[in-house]
Amino acid sequence: MKVCKCDRCGKIFEPTEHSGEFYNSVIQVGDETFGLVDIEGTIHKSYDVCDECLKDFQRWMKRGRIKSHG
């Protein structure tokens, strides 16, 4: 059995298994530079997150994109 610990809330959870490979959701933080041809980036940190924390993050990101028309 494989387990992960959510880096946000501390919950222990099982990653998803598919064809012998294990997957879990991560949020990556880093820098990205844009050249004329290629996009290059450097990931400084990856955070393992449980399904609930991923949903919270997605809701937070969605709220940030909503513009007020007032």
Q: Of residues 3 and 65, which shows the higher confidence score?
A: 3
Question: What's the whole-model pTM score?
Answer: 0.67
* Mean pLDDT confidence for 1-12: 91
What pLDDT was estimated at residue 68?
53
Domain boundaries, position 18: 4-64
- d(Cα 25, Cα 66) in Å, to the nearest integer? 24
Q: Is residue 14 part of a domain?
A: yes
Whether residue 22 is contained in a domain is answered as: yes
- Is 59 contained in some domain? yes
- Domain total in the chain: 1
Return the SS3 of 25.
strand
State pLDDT tens for residues 28-48: 888 777 766 666 778 888 899
Q: Is residue 69 domain-resident?
A: no
